[in-house]
Amino acid sequence: MAVADIFKALADPTRRTILDELVDRDDQTLFEICSRLSNKHDLGMSRQAVSQHLEVLESAGLIRSRREGRYKFHRIDPVPLRSMLHRWMKPQTTAAEHTTETEEKT
Amino acid sequence: MKAQWISIPVDDQARALKFYTDRLGFIPKVDVPVGDEFRWLTVVSPEEPNGVEVVLEPKGHPAADAYTKALAADGIPINQFAVEDVQAEYDRLSKLGVTFTQEPTTMGPVTTAVLDDTVGNLIQLIHQEEGEPEL
């Protein structure tokens, strides 16, 4: 998967919210994702718009969809994110160093 | 004018009656033959025996099947029923073998779950917190 696709997919706040909600629970129908965006995040957008966001996420490899019987479910796939992180993370970097860095920034 | 009926297109009226009574707990209200093949078949909530009737309607028109299939594919319920406790209904119905496409989820003022009615539709169970504006 092209890294550019992943960044493009993550650049949009709605798509990041969709991923947050899929972390909350995997295997959601389009209807559930729309309901969560509208009721929890006040993102009342058309079903078509949400569907397009899902397509972008899926083509970036960040979510997977599967059919089960007559239904279609979506789940997050964190693998592309992990490989992206490894690109810049030094193997010797420890958790402690990370904490220091985070604290300095805040 | 009164809204007395809601209609749910079903794959099979006999199976629908069984599911809506045995599983969901509605009670039969009217059951009369219409022609050779179909019935005017309605059920009501035991909490409101004179309330709105749910018409378990045959899919007489070819478009009805396309419509319900398209809704189900996107996980969209064809209708919703109000319950006091979504989690309790989910537990009770799961034990009876009812399939859910969405487990109980609280989203702001509402808690919902979505189940498969076995005759081609998804049904949403919903509880709204008191004091919240009607949707």
What CATH architecture applies to the domain A3-105? Orthogonal Bundle (1.10)
Token pair, residue A21, equals 């909600």
Measure the CA–CA gap between B66 and B80, rounded to whole angstroms: 20
Whether B115 is in a domain gets the answer: yes
Helix (H, G, I), strand (E, B) or coil at B50: coil
Of A25, A35, A73, the CB nearest to B112: A35
Domain count across chain B: 1
The minimum CA-CA distance between A62 and chain B, rounded to whole Å, is 19
Whether B104 is in a domain gets the answer: yes
Are B87 and B112 within 8 A, CB to CB? no
The CATH number assigned to the domain holding B9 equals: 3.10.180.10
Residue of B nearest to A28 (CA): B102
Residues 102-121 of B with CB under 8 A from A: 102-103, 105, 107-110, 112, 114
Among B30, B75, B80, residue whose Cα is nearest residue B57: B30
Q: What is the pLDDT of residues A21-35, one digit of tens each?
A: 999 999 999 999 999
Are B86 and B127 within 8 A, CB to CB? yes
Whether B134 is in a domain gets the answer: no
Range of B20's domain?
5-128
Whether B98 is in a domain gets the answer: yes
Q: What is the pLDDT of residues B68-127, one digit of tens each?
A: 999 999 999 999 999 999 999 999 999 999 999 999 999 888 999 999 999 999 999 999
Whether B133 is in a domain gets the answer: no
The minimum CA-CA distance between A60 and chain B, rounded to whole Å, is 21
Measure the CA–CA gap between B43 and B52, rounded to whole angstroms: 9
ipTM metric:
0.81
pLDDT higher than threshold 50 for residue A64: yes
Q: DSSP letter for B134, please.
A: P
